[in-house]
Amino acid sequence: MDINFETATFKDFENIPGYNMMQRADIYYDFLDYMKSNGHQYRLRNNTACNSVINVGNDETTKDYISFVTSDYLGFTQHPKVKQAAIEGIEKYGTGTAATPLIGGYFSYHNDLEKKISSFFGRQEDEAVVFTTGYTANSATLQILLQKEDIAIVDMAVHASVYEGCILTNRKTFPHNNLEALEQILKTSENQYRTKLVIIDGVYSQDGDVAPLKEIYDLVKKYNAFLMVDDVHGVGILGKTGRGSLEDTNLLDKVDIITGTFSKTFGNLGGYVIADKRLATFIRFQSRQQIFSATAPPSSAGILKAIDLIDEEPQWRQKLWTNINYFKKGLNDLGLDTGTTCSAIVPVKIGDPHITGDVGKMLIDHGIYANSIIYPAVARKDARIRMSVMATHEKEHLDKTLNAFEDIKNKLHIAKK
């Protein structure tokens, strides 16, 4: 089978009929070389930290770029108090847990984290389970809760970890945020499955838009289903006090399962699941990740401080919103399409994947590092540049980026018609 490198995407290499693993690796290796020679590179090396300006590149060619690629929205990976708390965690507990939570790897800081994150959401202390990543919080939880007699009903734009969590169960997807399609699936699934679990994101990772939470919650309850909300990109950013997308809709104590990450706003690594105490206990003792894999290392003690800072230092959230509003308005004033975002994820929607790749390259030439997102992460004709705004961006960073977009817009005609 011939793969046309000019039009190929990563997805085309997942499984090539008749190719064994080495043959697939060979052709993929050549594809990466081809991409590199055309100036398209992923997995670039960051030589500094999650700052707003980062040094990127290999040893021979490194350069400083204004960064829009990390989800360290509030800048907490660099906050002195968060770093100090992480260091204290290491001093007290060492560097690892050396066992899985079920059989010796459950430490008092894990318990502190569970208490802290559940009370952050106004829930009881035994209603949280800590995971190694946000990815496994989703995938491992879903794999243990949903079996072949059950069904997952998912918004098609949910994260890959949710799709992975659904491999042992039945799954139906509905078009993004489409209430009618969701209701239709709920209707046709009535009396057919033991558990019907609707899974959505609070904030969607590619468009930065939010789910119609109240309407979805009402529908889910009308059809006796359950609701799981992954709010990885909402927590710390949305809501009057930063509790995420569920706060302003008063759903924090109503949604059946909330999942999240410690790797974005909280500036660390790890994930969590919030659920009723019996469900949380079931997940804690039954999910394979909790039984067979070690979880959060002692440096996660930094998360305890990061959670406190959401209340203690709201100025970071305020600065983030000042930046988001300024940046979005600047892009829109240039005639660029930022879609339906209501969060710190700001896309510039372009459509054509090749033009999007060219915009990404031109941004790099201007000293700006932002990701080009193409199929399969988004639909084929919905390619975009995706940027994560941070509280630590200065106005001059945003202005420089807006100037770059103005230049690129004039050359590549990417403004909305």
Contact residues: ligand PMP, CB under 6 A? 133-135, 138, 159, 161, 201, 205, 230, 232-233, 261, 263, 271
Cβ distance to ligand PMP smaller for residue 135 or 217: 135
Q: Write down the least CB distance from residue 271 to ligand PMP, Å.
A: 5
* Residue with smallest beta-carbon separation from ligand PMP: 134
Residues 6+ apart with CB under 8 A from 257: 141, 197, 226, 227, 228, 229, 273, 274, 275, 279
Q: Write down the least CB distance from residue 83 to ligand PMP, Å.
A: 19
Give the integer Cα–Cα distance in Å for 399 and 327.
8
* Radius of gyration of the chain, Cα coordinates, nearest whole angstrom: 22
Cβ distance to ligand PMP smaller for residue 388 or 414: 388
Q: What is the DSSP letter of 79?
A: -
Cβ distance to ligand PMP smaller for residue 51 or 161: 161
Q: Which residues are catalytic?
A: 205, 233, 264
Give the integer Cα–Cα distance in Å for 16 and 35.
19
User: Among 14, 43, 46, 44, which Cα is nearest to 27's?
Assistant: 14
Give CB contacts under 8 A, 24+ apart, made by 322-327.
323/389, 323/390, 323/391, 323/393, 323/398, 324/389, 326/395, 326/398, 327/387, 327/389, 327/393, 327/398, 327/401, 327/402
**Is there a contact between 104 and 286 (Cβ–Cβ < 8 Å)?**
no
Q: Write down the least CB distance from residue 19 to ligand PMP, Å.
A: 29
Cβ distance to ligand PMP smaller for residue 205 or 295: 205
Cβ distance to ligand PMP smaller for residue 252 or 273: 273
User: Among 244, 274, 225, which Cα is nearest to 115's?
Assistant: 274
Q: Write down the least CB distance from residue 39 to ligand PMP, Å.
A: 25
CB atoms within 10 A of CB 108: 9
Give the integer Cα–Cα distance in Å for 220 and 382.
29
SS3 94: coil
Q: Write down the least CB distance from residue 109 to ligand PMP, Å.
A: 18
Cβ distance to ligand PMP smaller for residue 233 or 349: 233
The residue whose two tokens read 């067979």 is 292
User: Among 236, 211, 237, 216, which Cα is nearest to 227's?
Assistant: 216
Q: Write down the least CB distance from residue 133 to ligand PMP, Å.
A: 3
